Structure 1
Amino acid sequence: MIKNEKIKATEVQLTGLNGEDLGIMSTRDALALAKQHKVDLICMSLMTSPPPCKLMGAGAAKQEKQQEKKKAAKTPDKRKVKEIRLNLQMEDHDRETKQSQAERILTKGDSVKLVIQVHGAKEGTAGKEWAEQLCKSLAEYGSKTTGIQVSGKQVVVQLDPIE
């Protein structure tokens, strides 16, 4: 947060104490106005020219910044991507367990990355077929975000929850 004499711009876009637009003025005039009202001149952003500045008390500026941080902390993070590793030689019961695990993850709102371990080209096609079956059976919980990718020793597909 840049304030008062540390603002190096020659002109600023000034906003008053009550949020009213005071227009573009020289930094010296804006500083004089701030001293007249016994408040600080706070620069909001250096990304535009002239930079937008506000007249506000030092305590109010700190409080506003803290409120913005709290708001940012409250917004939920991106959904997590949970990886489930599978193998073509798994028993049917283990496959069902992994599928129900994927259902649980998707209903919680996280994404699932299914990774099926394969060996060779023949198993690659079998792994792709199994991945397609899994996607169909999990269709009510999530949808594919990526296509089914077959690469060497694994088949990978990611499912995002349906909202």
Structure 2
Amino acid sequence: MSIAKKELLINGSIREKEVRTIDSDGSQLGVLPTRQALSMAYDKDMDLVMISPGAQPPVCKIMDYGKYRFEQSKRDKEAKKKQKVIENKEVRMGLNIDTHDLETKVGQATKFLSAGNKVKVSIRFRGRELAHKNLGFELMERFTALCEEVGTIDKPPKMEGRSLVAFFSAKAAK
């Protein structure tokens, strides 16, 4: 069950004097006193469920509430199965990274991007390296150039404390 979903009022919980009633087959029965609509529902061994409390008068439907809740939970489970969770992966580098190490990091980021994840690339500055931010931006440009066939840059490189951070996402499959 989703958090935002609130329970519907059923049977004796309905405190309105009159309700617009819909039969179990979907036909309109008109505006009826709540007691009469409730007795019609009980005669059919079903429940009177308020489906639209904001309307004037409120709309109630005669239905099997247990069956309705079961089908609703099945639909929710199906929807949950179909949604894809996108994870955020991170690739960290130092400013003085060697070319082969950079290629390894690019390969790792490429693997994450091809799996459909987002990638956060961060270059950490240590000590006096912070005075050479331009070298970090150049390194990030090289990294972007090596990754451009599988991913696009979401957020351009930006300093966050002692790190230069950029976000990449996978290119849309054609």
Whether these two folds match at TM > 0.5 is: yes
Q: In 2, are the aligned partners of 1:128 and 1:150 still within 8 Å (CA)?
A: no
2:110 partner amino acid: E
Which range is displaced more, 79-88 or 19-28?
19-28
Relative to the length of structure 2, the TM-score reads: 0.77
Counterparts in 2 of 1:129 and 1:45: CA distance versus 1, 3 Å: farther
Note the residue ranges of structure 2 that are not aligned, 5 or more in a row: 1-6
Map of 2:161 onto structure 1: 152
Map of 1:112 onto structure 2: 119
1:159 partner amino acid: F
Number of corresponding residues: 162
Deviations 1:118-159, CA, capped at 9 Å, x for gaps: 245443221122212222321221112212112331111111
Q: In 2, are the aligned partners of 1:124 and 1:154 still within 8 Å (CA)?
A: no
- Matched residues in 2 for 1:17 and 1:143: separation? 52
Identity, % of aligned pairs?
29
Q: CA deviation at 1:37?
A: 2.4
Deviations 1:13-46, CA, capped at 9 Å, x for gaps: 5443123455665543432332232211223465
RMSD between superposed Cα atoms in Å: 2.5
Q: In 2, are the aligned partners of 1:15 and 1:21 still within 8 Å (CA)?
A: yes
Q: In 2, are the aligned partners of 1:118 and 1:154 still within 8 Å (CA)?
A: yes
Does 1:142 pair with 2:151? yes
Q: In 2, are the aligned partners of 1:116 and 1:155 still within 8 Å (CA)?
A: yes
Map of 2:26 onto structure 1: 19
Q: CA deviation at 1:97?
A: 0.6
2:88 partner amino acid: V
Q: CA deviation at 1:54?
A: 2.9
- Choose which of 114, 138, 141 in structure 2 pairs with 1:129: 138
